[in-house]
Chains A and B, each alone.
Chain A
Amino acid sequence: MTYLMYIGYLVVFGVAVTAVIGLLASWIDRKVTARVQYRVGPPLLQPVIDLVKLLGKETLIPSGASRTMFLAAPLIGFASVIAVSTILWTNSLSGGRSFLGDLVVVVYLLAVPSMSIILGGFASGNPLASVGASREMKLVMAYELPFVLACLVPVILSGYTLKLGDIVGYQTQHGAIALSGGGALALIVCILCMQAKLALVPFDAPEAETEICGGVLIEYSGPVLALYRLMKTMLLFVLPFFIIIVFMGGLRLDGIHLVLFVLKYVGLVALITVIRNTNPRLRIDQAMRFFWGPMTVVAVIAVGLALMGW
């Protein structure tokens, strides 16, 4: 029975609900961007139409590419995103079902999409894709340190637990972690790391269209490209969801809390869009300096504050 339940969670919440919300969020992102620039913007179904169209196109594999890796890379990334979203949903919908250390698993799995992009970029054998992949690699090294440090803050504040369920439980009793000093700082760090994980401006150096023509994804076409795009749109839901769970009280289904959850999520997506529309692209060395310098310092301060119980 429990197997069936987990498969249900995987298919219904891990894939379907996450994809629908992600597609909606990516439409909001494009529409808001258009409105900021005084344009009309795409119709509501545009992200879905894009995906359907890509399914009908040819998949071209460059002759210099390593074929298996080229095709497997997007699957690896996609699978890890599904795994994360299933863990997060299971945790939020049936509270007792979290296991020891699921926070570690989630943080680990959230790094896999970037890895899959790096793998795909190098496997395609295109020089521009390789440049993009190496930039992505530097970006991963840059933001993982402050990201993990920031994720330690809720762990410390909720009494050294590595269970997402316990972190949410702590927040239900003592108020959201983001309301404490250390939590607020860590939240800021996490939001900027999320921007980099999504590879959006100002941290979109790996995909910079104007310099390296789309970078890592340059050789991908057809259904494989659709998989990558779906992975990215799902991340647009999974990452804010994760941040809401560890910093902002998580998802609760009773009355006002559900509305609050929706508001928090829309707020985070709006924040991502605003950051992306009001900033120029950073060079990769500037991005690394930013994460290893100010962001790491802020994250360390946040951990220090948390250790003192603030």
Chain B
Amino acid sequence: MSVTLNALLKSPWVFHLSTGSCNNCDIEVLDCLTPRFDIERFGMLLAGSIKHADVLLVTGSCNRQSAERLKRLYDQVPKPCLVVAIGECSQSRGMFIHSYNCPKPLDAIIPVDVYIPGCPPKPEAIIAGVVNLIQKVKGAA
């Protein structure tokens, strides 16, 4: 595995994107930054700009408005980048599955690397999911 990819796994800066969630998943993402969970231990930082991000944390059910912006943002992340789908909404569209406004699930719009189920997932589950993601990339390389 290349040095830079190895470094990426040790310092993944996350960009947090809500595509129309009920805001509960977003609060759980923010929980991961609090003293109790402190993801800076793993070198993770919350990036303010999409151009600084390595990992895209997507929550919410991708409605017609945000799907377009999601695609545009995905194009703007400097590659290599990883995508994490957080919460039921971003995976199967959850309770919005029959909504006129949510035509497609997230992984039909952009490629997703890891899914973290739950409504909302606990911070522990989010951290475990990211650890799984790191393991997966390590195994693949």
Q: Which residue numbers of A lie inside 8 Å of B, CB to CB?
A: 30, 34, 37-43, 46, 49-50, 52-53, 55-60, 209-210, 213-214, 217-222, 225
Contacts and interface: CB of A to CB of B under 8 A. Distances in A.
Contacts of A214: 47-49, 52
A53 B8 contact: yes
A46 B113 CA distance: 24
Nearest to B81: A57
Interface string B77-103: 011100000000000000000000000
Interface in B41-55: 41, 43, 47-49, 51-52, 54
B40 A219 contact: no
Contacts of A41: 38, 40-41
B117 to A, nearest CB: 27
Contacts, number: 82
Given A43-B43, A50-B43, A58-B78, 14 more contacts: A34-B38, A38-B35, A41-B38, A41-B40, A42-B40, A42-B41, A49-B43, A52-B7, A53-B7, A56-B80, A209-B48, A210-B48, A213-B49, A220-B52
Nearest to B47: A214
Contacts of B51: 60, 218-221, 225
Interface of B: 2-5, 7-8, 10-11, 35, 38, 40-41, 43, 47-49, 51-52, 54, 76, 78-80
A58 B3 contact: no
Nearest to A213: B48
B137 to A, nearest CB: 13
A251 B52 CA distance: 37
A42 to B, nearest CB: 5
A116 B26 CA distance: 36
B27 to A, nearest CB: 16
A46 B54 CA distance: 15
7 contacts: A43-B43, A52-B3, A57-B54, A57-B78, A59-B78, A220-B51, A220-B52
A220 to B, nearest CB: 6
A164 B66 CA distance: 58
Contact of B2 (A56, A59, A209): A56
Contacts of B48: 209-210, 213-214, 218
Contacts of B3: 52, 56
Nearest to B12: A53
Contacts of A221: 51-52, 78
Most chain B CB within 10 A, of A57, A58, A59, is at A57
